[in-house]
Amino acid sequence: MANFIPVLDVTTKLQRKQFAEKYLFDIDGRISLYSGSHGKNIPNTVPLWSCIAVGNVPNIVHDYFPVHYASSVKEYMKSNALNVLPDWPRKSGDLMPLENVWREMVNRFEVEGIFANTVNELWDAIEQVFNVMNRGGYFMEVILDTRNKLRRLLENDGDWVDVN
């Protein structure tokens, strides 16, 4: 897998820094992972989602990827009263706990030589690796590391945070 790292422009770095300062220093600036059984099938989309929440009100985090703004996704969010975290900065996958989870899952597939020949085999393998990661406390580590990432972002003047 190629490791392409785009250069962040000054405006994006500033937005990232403002986001980090808000959630590091706001008294209610808690970022947490919410998990629930709210899955729905939206035709012609990938059936995966995640959100972060401040308090008990979940907000969907979009990383500005074009598919997140498809009309079917917008309609689903509107009809289900889902909110998007309004100030998530562009080009900030390095801060997203879910991106770390997928990166680790891909790594485990490669290291353990896991291959799937069918969709069912793939889902079985994802579930198996996911359950192993969950037993090891990995998800809690990723969530707790979010504040450290925000601190490192400020130390890096808004630039990328090392996620390895």
Comparing CA positions, the residue from 34, 42, 96 lying closest to residue 64 is 96
Name the more confident of 157 and 91: 157
What CATH number is given for 10-155 in this structure?
A: 3.30.420.10
State yes or no: pLDDT of 111 exceeds 80: yes
Comparing CA positions, the residue from 103, 111, 108 lying closest to residue 162 is 103
Ordered by start, the domain boundaries in the chain are 10-155
State yes or no: pLDDT of 31 exceeds 50: no
Q: Exposure of 37 by Cβ count < 10 A (0-12 exposed, 13-18 middle, 19+ buried)? A: exposed
Please tell me the distance from the alpha carbon of residue 34 to that of residue 1, in angstroms, as a whole number: 29
State yes or no: pLDDT of 27 exceeds 90: no
What was the pLDDT predicted at 4? Answer: 62
Comparing CA positions, the residue from 29, 161, 31 lying closest to residue 103 is 161
pLDDT tens, position by position, 49-95: 554 444 565 667 777 777 777 888 888 888 888 777 778 888 888 88
Mean pLDDT within 99-114:
90
Helix (H) or strand (E) holding 22, with range, is helix 10-25
Give me the percent of the chain exceeding a pLDDT of 90: 20
State yes or no: pLDDT of 29 exceeds 90: no
User: What pTM was computed for the model?
Assistant: 0.66
What was the pLDDT predicted at 44? Answer: 46
